Amino acid sequence: MGRKKLIKLNVIKDLENVFDFRDGDDEKNIRKYFDNDNPITLELGCGHGEYTFNLAREYPGRNFLGIDIKGSRLYNGAIDSIQYDIPNSAFLVSRIEKLPEIFSEEKIEEIIIPFPDPHVRRRSEKHRLVSPEFLKTYKSFLVEKGNIHLKTDNTELYEYALKILQKEKHNIIYSTSDLHSTDDELFIKTVLTRYEKHYVNEGRKIKYVCFNINRKENP
């Protein structure tokens, strides 16, 4: 492990806005930190945490929790949230598969999945964050009609998501293959990720799907 990464890991261990599944942190600890009853939005695969931080700053009436498996990545977002006094921004070191062990049934109001690894190889399909397996995972802790937002520049992942959502009869609320060309007023357009800014400048089209989970058993 590199020296810089080790230093970051040692720092975030003592930050009040960083939680770790491996240390036994759970929903109770996270709710106590937020110290309010505002809805919680999860950002899955938050990387360096700048998107979680910026969303929290833009929407102070909502709590944002960035989740990533690599704790050292969370350093910048966590430090900025403390430095700029953004108390509705926090971070969790955890695998996504472990989230049902952290959050009670139907307690999370919203999920954002920004630019995930598309896992384009067929044998990697189960790792796509909109695969049937992951959708079942989200269902276990997402409130009824809680929205899930997917943003991607990858056409294959976008089309795959639509196919799975239609096949499993999930409720597609909104979808577009070119998010930033639409005139529709969408909150998902107000804050851009670092990658998104880069993609837009390159002229890439950003695909977006907003949906919620079908609670009925499929026939």
Convert 150-171 to b/e letters by CB count within 10 Å (16 or more is b). bbbbbeebbebbbebbeeeebe
Active site residues: 117
Report the phi/psi class of residue 137: left, alpha or beta, with left for phi > 0 and alpha for psi in -120 to 50.
Answer: alpha
Closest alpha carbon to 76 in 7, 27, 150:
7
- What is the spatial distance between Cα 145 and Cα 149, in angstroms, rounded to a whole number? 12
Residues forming beta bridges with residue 155, ordered by sequence position: none
What residues contact residue 6 under an 8 Å CB cut-off, 6+ apart?
none
Enclosing H/E stretch for 33: helix 27-34
Consecutive H or E run containing 20: strand 18-20
Helices (H) and strands (E) in the chain, counts: 8, 8
